[in-house]
Amino acid sequence: MKSLEHAAVGLVVGTVAALALGPPGGLPLLVTLSVLVSVFIDLDHFVIARVERGDWQNLRLAVTNPRVGIVEQEKIFVGMEGDFNRKRLLSHHLIGGVVVGGLALSGATLLAAFVAVVLYAHVVCDFLRDLGIA
């Protein structure tokens, strides 16, 4: 999904999760956190592309061409389907597990549950897009 789509999902899911779970922090702060988490988890795609390609071409394209970086994001990773898609989803799971586990172990269990819900929604949206459903 595109960043703006993930931001919209993060806004809705974060609002519902914040109201339902009531983790510490005000509603605006938690909703902002959910939008940021929903969007910035995708930065791992550039690291995976760097490992796959051996260069930062994908990141350069997104940064040097704002239209592609913001509006036409589907052009950033052209030709990197298959293993790339599985690796990016695995990466999301690994990052999410570390973040949620770290928060839970630090005693911030409600915040861990909140972040888990937001990241779960992100990954489900990615799966739905990959399957051509959304």
CA distance 1 to 30: 22
Would you say residue 27 lies in a domain?
A: yes
What pLDDT, in 10s, does the model give residues 93-128? 999 999 999 999 999 999 999 999 999 999 999 999
Would you say residue 120 lies in a domain?
A: yes
Would you say residue 58 lies in a domain?
A: no
Q: State the maximum Cα–Cα separation within the chain, in Å, rounded to a whole number.
A: 44
Would you say residue 64 lies in a domain?
A: no
Q: 49 to each of 32, 57, 89, 122, how far by Cα in Å?
A: 28, 9, 13, 20
Would you say residue 45 lies in a domain?
A: yes
Q: Is the pLDDT of residue 41 over 80?
A: yes
CA distance 133 to 78: 20
What is the extent of the structural domain holding 43?
3-49+80-130
Would you say residue 73 lies in a domain?
A: no
> For the chain, what is the domain count?
1
What pLDDT, in 10s, does the model give residues 49-98? 999 999 999 999 999 998 898 888 889 998 887 788 889 999 999 999 99
Would you say residue 54 lies in a domain?
A: no
Q: Any alpha helices (H) in the chain, and if so which ranges? A: 3-21, 27-40, 44-53, 57-64, 66-70, 83-105, 109-130
Secondary structure class of 33 (helix, strand, coil): helix
Q: Is the pLDDT of residue 134 over 80?
A: no
Would you say residue 59 lies in a domain?
A: no
